[in-house]
Chain A
C-alpha cells in the first residue's frame, strides 16, 4: 500500500465491501488506549500474560536443538490437522492431572485454546444464534462471538460461578421466544475475568441442564492447574461423561503461550466438524512447536515447572490482594481467586472504568475496563486486574496508583453530591458476615448494572 495513492474516498469504497460481521468487531477507542498501556513506562495490570522469564533459556535451546536433530524434516513439514499423536499423548497426561480421563482419539491439537472457541463458533453458529456466556465473560471470546454474529446472552455469576437459577430462567425465557442456545460458554476454574470458581454442585447442575436441553457446553479451562489453594474440582467433561461437553485446554499457562498450542476434547462427531473448520482455518498447528512440546514432556519435568509457576503466581496474587486491601477505598470490592491469573474489582456506579483508565494512564498504570467483558454495555464500573504478568513490586506500586485515582474520584463525587465516604472496610466486614453463597469472600455478587 505504501507507494499507492490512497484516499478517504477509496477507503470509503472498501467500507461498502466489508462483511456485516466485521461491524461488531470494532472498538478502536479501547484498542487505542490499550496501545498506550503497552508503553514501557506503564505498569500494565491489563495483560493476561503468563510469566515466561522463569523458563530456563538453556532448556529452550537444548530442546529446540533436539527437535532439529531428531525431527528436522517432519518439524519443518505440514502436519496432521488433529495434531501429532505424540502431542496428544502429552495432552492425555495433562488431562489426567486435571482429573479427566481421555484417549488420544478424543483430542485435537489446536493453535492455542483460543482456536477452540473460534472452531466451536464456526461449527455451531449461524448468524443470530444464541450463545450463553458468563457475565462478565472472557474479553478475548467477545470478538469471536461477534464475528460469527452470535446473540450472546450473559448470565450473572456469584462467588460460586455461573448462577444456575438465572441460567434456568434464561433458558425458559429463550424457549418462550422460540429460541435455543447452541452452546453455553464457561470458564469454570478461576474464571477470566471474574476470578471465581464454579462450585461442584453447580457443575453437576450445569451438565444436567446441558443434557436435558441438549445444548453443548464449551468448557474453557486454561487455568485449572494454576490452583494456589483449596481442592481441585472435577471438570465438566468428566462429569458429563463426554456427551455434551467440548473442552478447551492449552499449554499456554503451563508451558508457553508463545507456542500457540492448545487442544479440544470433544465427542467424536463434534471433533470431526471442528477438524473441518481447522482445515479451513490453518490446516494444522505448527508441527515445529508440537515437536517442542513432545521433547519437553519427554526430557523435562513439566510438573516441576508448573509448581514453580504456581509458587510465583501465588505470591503475586497475595501481593495484589494485600495491596488492594491497603490502597483501594472502602467503596471498592473485588474477588479473591483461588487460582488463575485475574482479580475482578468493582467500583461505585458513578465511576466509569473506561474513563478512569485515561486517568490511570497519566499515573502510568493500566487495567482492563469492565465493558470489555460484556456485550451489552454492562461492566462500566468494573475492572480486570492481572497478577501474573509483572513482579511483586510492580503489582504493589500499580495497585497503589490505581487506589490513588479511585480515591480521588470517590472524593470528588463526595464533594459534588455531599455523599459521605463509606465506612472503613474492617468495620463493614464484621457487620456483614460471609454468606454461604459467597464462599470466597467479600466480592461478588457480580450484580447487574443498568447499561448506560
Chain B
C-alpha cells in the first residue's frame, strides 16, 4: 500500500512528531509498504492530492495535527487515516471539553474551572478567583486548555502565584483551566482498537527520577523518567484503571488508538486527560505498553493501519 506518514508540522511538539513519524516509517518499510513522508505545511493539501496515498498514518502531535484540523482535511480529500476522527480529536485536544465530557459520563476527574482570556478581560472573571481558590484549595494547577505536552502547566502554591501562572498559561492558549491538584502516581493506559472492539493495554507508570513534577522535559528525555510496565498495582486497581480508560475512550469517541492519563491517589483513580495521537517515539509509553501486551511495534503499526483502511471515510 502507498502510505503517507504525516509528521512535523509547526506545533511546539514538532520534534517529537518527527521522531514518532520516523519510527512509524521504519516500521512501515519493514512491513513492505510504499511510504510518502509528508512534513505537514502550507503545501499539505497539494501534496495529498498529488500523491493520492491509499491511507495516511497521522504521526502529528499538538496543535493542527492532533486537534482535528488535519483529520478534517483528510476527510475532505477522501484519504483514510489512522486514529481518531475530527470530533474525538477536538474533544481530546481541548482539556476543558474533555473534562466536561468525562464528568457528564460519570468518570472521576479532578475538579476544575475553565476561563477564556475574554472572561478576564471583558467579564471581570478575576473577581471570581478567590471563590475558585477556596473551592479547589492550594496548591492548584493552572493549565492551558489545548497544549498537548505539559508545556505551560503551572502550580500555584498560594493566591499570590495565581496571576503569573495565568499569564503563563495564556501564553499557550486563549482558554485556561484551574484544576484541583492531585498528588499521586502518574499512570497511563493505552487503548488499542481491534476486531473485537477496543482493548486496554497494560498500565504504564511514569516515575520521575529527579523533578518534583512529571514535566515536559522528563516525558521525552531518557533517564529523566523511569517507565514501569506493567505498573506495580493491586490487580483491582489495574482493572479499574483499564475500565476507566475504556470508559474515557467511549466518552470521547476515540478510534484506532489513544492514551489515557490517570492519577492514582492511593487506590483512588482519576482521569486527567486523553491523547488522541500519543507519541510513538522510542521512549513513548504506547509502544511500551503494546510490547508488554505482546504486540511488537511493527504489529502495532500494522493493526492501526488495518483499522484505518477498514474504516471508510465519513
Contacts and interface: CB of A to CB of B under 8 A. Distances in A.
Partners in one complex: yes
A15 B222 CA distance: 6
**Interface of chain A, helix or strand or loop or mixed?**
helix
A36 B9 CA distance: 9
Interface string A291-334: 00000000000000000000000000000000000000000000
A36 to B, nearest CB: 6
A208 interface: no
A31 B26 contact: no
A376 interface: no
Contacts of A29: 151, 215-217
B167 A350 contact: yes
Interface centre among B15, B215, B227, B296 (most CB of A within 10 A): B15
Interface stretch (A254-262, A413-421, A426-434): A413-421
B112 to A, nearest CB: 19
Interface residues of B, number: 46
Interface in A149-166: none
B283 A416 contact: no
Given A5-B296, A413-B167, A31 B126 contact: no
A365 to B, nearest CB: 13
Interface string B203-231: 00000000000011100111110110000
**Interface of chain B, helix or strand or loop or mixed?**
helix
A41 interface: yes
A351 B167 contact: yes
Contact of B15 (A8, A22, A31, A355): A31
Given A7-B287, A11-B222, A32-B12, A358 B151 contact: yes
B126 A12 contact: no
A33 B151 CA distance: 10
Contacts of B288: 7-9
Contact of A355 (B11, B14, B117, B152): B152
Given A14-B222, A15-B222, A35 B14 contact: yes
Contacts of B222: 11-12, 14-15, 18
A55 B298 CA distance: 50
Contact of B120 (A10, A35, A412): A412
B248 to A, nearest CB: 23
B281 to A, nearest CB: 9
Contacts of B217: 26-29
A39 interface: yes
A359 interface: yes
A5 B297 contact: yes
B171 interface: yes
A350 B152 contact: no
Contact of A413 (B14, B152, B163): B163
B30 to A, nearest CB: 7
Contacts of B186: none
Contact of A8 (B14, B121, B126, B287): B287
Interface string B108-135: 0000000001001100001001000000
A7 B282 contact: yes
A361 interface: yes
Contacts of A356: 171
Interface string A331-350: 00000000000000000011
Interface centre among A10, A14, A361, A412 (most CB of B within 10 A): A412
Interface centre among A3, A18, A29, A33 (most CB of B within 10 A): A29
Contacts of B226: 12
A22 B220 CA distance: 15
Interface centre among B14, B163, B296 (most CB of A within 10 A): B163
Given A15-B222, A31-B15, A35-B14, A416 B163 contact: yes
B44 interface: no
Contacts of A32: 12-16, 220
B158 interface: no
Contacts of B45: none
A86 interface: no
A35 B167 CA distance: 24
A394 interface: no
B284 interface: yes
A3 B26 CA distance: 7
A36 B17 CA distance: 12
Interface in B128-175: 129, 151-152, 162-164, 166-172
Contacts of A33: 12
A199 interface: no
B152 A36 contact: no
A415 B126 contact: yes
Nearest to A31: B15
B87 interface: no
Interface centre among B126, B223, B291 (most CB of A within 10 A): B223
Contacts of B12: 32-33, 36, 358, 361
B270 interface: no
B155 to A, nearest CB: 10
A269 interface: no
B296 A350 contact: no
A3 B298 CA distance: 11
Given A28-B221, A358-B152, A358-B172, A11 B26 contact: no
A170 interface: no
Nearest to B129: A416
Contacts of B171: 352, 355-359, 409
Nearest to A20: B223
Contacts of B10: 36, 39, 41
20 contacts: A2-B26, A3-B26, A8-B288, A9-B288, A9-B291, A11-B222, A12-B226, A15-B222, A26-B224, A32-B12, A32-B15, A36-B12, A351-B167, A355-B169, A355-B171, A356-B171, A359-B171, A411-B121, A415-B126, A416-B163
Q: Which 4 A-B pairs have the closest CB atoms?
A: A359-B171, A355-B171, A350-B164, A355-B168
Given A11-B283, A35-B14, 18 more contacts: A5-B297, A7-B282, A8-B227, A8-B283, A12-B226, A15-B223, A23-B223, A33-B12, A35-B15, A355-B152, A355-B168, A355-B172, A358-B151, A412-B167, A415-B121, A416-B163, A416-B166, A417-B163
Interface of B: 10-16, 26, 30, 117, 120-121, 126, 129, 151-152, 162-164, 166-172, 215-217, 220-224, 226-227, 282-285, 287-288, 291, 296-298
